[in-house]
Structure 1
Amino acid sequence: MGGSIAGCALASAAARAGADEVVVLERTHGRLADRGLGLCIHDGRAAELAATGALPAGIAAHRLTRRRWVVRDDTAAGPAGRVFWEQPFPFHSYHWGLLWRGLREATPASVVYRQGAAVTGVAGDGERAEVRLAQGTAEAFDLVVGADGYRSVVREAVCPESRPAYAGYVCWRGNFDARRLEALGDGGWPAESVTTVCFGGGSCVIYRIPGPDGPRVNWVLYAMPPQTGRLPFDDPTSFPPGRVTEELTAHLGALLDLEFPPYWAQVLGLTEPADTFVQPIYDLETARTTAGRLLLAGDAATVVRPHNTSGAAKALQDATAFEDAWRRAGTWDELLHAYQAARGAAGREMVALARRLGRGQVEQTPAWAAMNHREAESWWQGQLGGAADIGGQAMTP
């Protein structure tokens, strides 16, 4: 269930492992490739995933190497602000639509991919799992994989007690054609660098991504929403491009004017309203990833705040673990048990790390401007809490 990144990856994994029949049920009719969001995959995770076949070769990616942390400084720094810390950033950035297209094209021809197939419920307690479709029909399968995102119907059956929890803040997201930067100059911004603009109560990550028509600039700004009025943040549904409220648009403008170095405020100002949206930040963890003949993967299993930069890698790792469990198992029960053992705790640990990162970069921000390099490094290690890095964990060979 679900035909986006996780769904394509799990379907391909099942086909490679020897499934006789694989059916993907995707509820939308439209072109998923039109989604233009940026994302990153850690170089270490990408190498592991390429070796297993979960990340196909040839998908456009932009190399990133350094992350610079910047604050506004009206006294000493130039229009691009003052860099108070710089750290290695071994990632490649992707365009969501191009990554999905590469995964979709790599899906074996034996996989049946059905769009417009909305599922209203599943049951998986017996020897077969049943899927109930919106048009009133039902179909039976040996196994149902829930790769149907943060509003997963399969998760409702596996873990009905699990609900997405609002973190108390939102992110504004946008991207635009990188050629627009020519009007501003480069601002001392190397193409392989990520910039994090820091301010009290929030932060903004800015980097380049590949696009269908050339490089694009992608940005994600985290902050508390405006306190006036009533905005519907009780459900993890975004305000899509063209439907961002005037109140949220005005709040973004005020943040740029008051908190951002002038150059970076101008950079974000290059984004068209049609390429800007607002997403409430939620997270979710589940006590289990399998039940009966049902299995959860990707955001259906765990919703991790984006600070961890691990969403795509996690979905592809789920597919890798699924394929490995399939090849080693002699029964469905063995497969499900092995998958739960491989991915259950890993998902919960990523949720915990992203919560720490959210506290440190939005909810309880430090005095960024007073930090030196050594203090910033110590602060960062405190957020990691023993994790090796952001971007997801290495999988056990």
Structure 2
Amino acid sequence: MSDQDLSASGRGRAIVVGGSFAGLTAALLLREQGFDVDVFERTPQHLNGRGGGIVLQPDTVRWITERPHPFGVDDVSIGSSVMRYLGENNKIVYEEPAAWRFSSWTTMYRVLLDDFGTDRYHLGEYAVGVSQDDDRAEVRFTSGRAERAELVVFADGITSVGRRRLQPRVQPRYAGYIGWRGTVPERAVSPETADLIHDALAYAVMENSHICMYAIPGADESLARGDQQLNYVWYRNVAEGPELDEMVTDLRGFTAPVSVHPGQVQQRFVDRMRTEAAEQLPPAAAELIERTAEPYIQIVLDIAVRNMAFGRVALIGDAAFAARPHAAAGTAKAAADAWSLAEALAAETDIPTALAAWEPPRLALGNDLLSRVAQMGARSQFTNTWDPADPELHFGLYGPDR
């Protein structure tokens, strides 16, 4: 980019690697800061249909609430009024008021992509290398493309290339359990099951396991009763080593590092999981699992970096810290990383100086989140000390009810 181009854009060019939630939020905010922003996404198609339900915390929806939109949060999500625990024969064993809103990953992705646009959203570009000098950083792609910019943000998720290149000694740590995940159309289950989960954040807890369930928008993004989907995660302990490796080997014969996608889980494991669900879970939870066409597996991992800022290069979201889902804080942390990065760049025009100032509180938050969700996971999966009334077990990026 010439000096004239840099002057015209205000801040120079920014490259965002990863076109998911963290990347699009960062791209939108950096564009507001005056950067010319390009997003490079490794997949060859848009990410519609990926992921399941998400819990909308304030940071997750900040882009919607603080910027003009023809719709509000209520138009892209479903609310709950209670947290409900189910026991044997669907008996409600605990209940308390709990106002949360739930959406689907796809719905929120479409909001952000629509706002950013597709002209500078580049599909099928897999980053493979990064380097920098005093003036710019360079990202290299498997296609042979090389792009230079004043700022590079890696928002490329749990399998981040940026993290592997910049902090190669950081490795994911297996938590000792997996999550069976899925969604089922509300119309596919009994009225009793739909009523128990509608308007609720629903749990069931049993020895060394628990399941979390809630309603999300339908596949067509409808919010109407009957058109919604019911989303769940059932956490189950699986020993690391041959047992885990066998389970997460997909139908193509590849061992999955993060998740075995819908339609790729070996059928014998699906069959066994459904049988055990009928034996161990309340009927409503077991029915969700039985009626799910293609349940899939999430490998529960902990990832923590020592640094998030490297001169002109930053790591955000799961590319930096990947936390277990128990606090429902993944998308909230991704958004918060992006907002705080934009605020740091607004306060300081020199990019390396801004990133250096931005980094310490982000590291502190990431480490705190990992510590909290590890404790939550231990209480549900290993020590059997999960207490529905304990606020330390509630959702939240910054801690319970904050």
User: TM tier, shorter chain?
Assistant: 0.7 to 0.9
Q: 2:37 aligned with 1:22, yes or no?
A: yes
Alignment partner for residue 204 of structure 1, among 187, 211, 220?
211
Name the amino acid aligned to 2:218: G
In the alignment, the residues of structure 2 paired with residue 89 and residue 228 of structure 1 have an alpha-carbon distance, to the nearest angstrom, of 39
Contact kept in structure 2, 1:167 and 1:281, CA below 8 Å? yes
In the alignment, the residues of structure 1 paired with residue 24 and residue 343 of structure 2 have an alpha-carbon distance, to the nearest angstrom, of 16
Q: Secondary structure of 2:170's match?
A: coil
Match of 1:195 in 2: 202
Match of 1:391 in 2: 396
Alignment partner for residue 116 of structure 2, among 87, 102, 107?
107
In the alignment, the residues of structure 2 paired with residue 277 and residue 45 of structure 1 have an alpha-carbon distance, to the nearest angstrom, of 27
Identity %: 28
In the alignment, the residues of structure 1 paired with residue 42 and residue 388 of structure 2 have an alpha-carbon distance, to the nearest angstrom, of 45
Which consecutive unaligned segments of at least 5 residues does structure 2 have? 1-16, 223-227, 249-254
Q: 1:300 to 1:157 in 2, by over 3 A?
A: same
Alignment partner for residue 103 of structure 2, among 94, 97, 112?
94
Match of 1:85 in 2: 94
Displacement of 1:31: 2.7
Q: 2:187 aligned with 1:171, yes or no?
A: no
Q: How does 1:1-397 map to 2 (within 5 A)?
A: 1-19=17-35, 21-42=36-57, 44-45=58-59, 50-53=64-67, 57-58=71-72, 60-72=76-88, 79-80=89-90, 82-107=91-116, 112-124=120-132, 126-181=134-189, 183-186=190-193, 189=196, 191-213=198-220, 214=222, 215-225=228-238, 230-232=243-245, 236-273=257-294, 276-366=295-385, 376-377=388-389, 380-381=390-391, 383=392, 389-393=394-398
Contact kept in structure 2, 1:13 and 1:54, CA below 8 Å? no
The higher relative CO (CA closer than 8 Å, separation ≥ 6) is in: 1
Q: Secondary structure of 2:260's match?
A: coil
The TM-score, its normalising length taken from structure 1, stands at 0.85
Which consecutive unaligned segments of at least 5 residues does structure 1 have? 73-78, 369-374
Displacement of 1:4: 0.9
Contact kept in structure 1, 2:155 and 2:319, CA below 8 Å? yes
Displacement of 1:89: 2.8
Contact kept in structure 2, 1:175 and 1:218, CA below 8 Å? yes
Deviation digits for residues 295-314 of structure 1 (CA, Å, limit 9, x no counterpart) = 01111011010111011111
In the alignment, the residues of structure 1 paired with residue 163 and residue 170 of structure 2 have an alpha-carbon distance, to the nearest angstrom, of 8
Q: Secondary structure of 2:374's match?
A: helix
Name the amino acid aligned to 1:13: L
In the alignment, the residues of structure 1 paired with residue 342 and residue 102 of structure 2 have an alpha-carbon distance, to the nearest angstrom, of 25
Q: 1:9 to 1:227 in 2, by over 3 A?
A: closer
In the alignment, the residues of structure 1 paired with residue 160 and residue 69 of structure 2 have an alpha-carbon distance, to the nearest angstrom, of 24
Q: Secondary structure of 1:391's match?
A: coil
Q: Calculate the aligned-residue CA RMSD, in Å.
A: 2.5
Name the amino acid aligned to 1:323: A
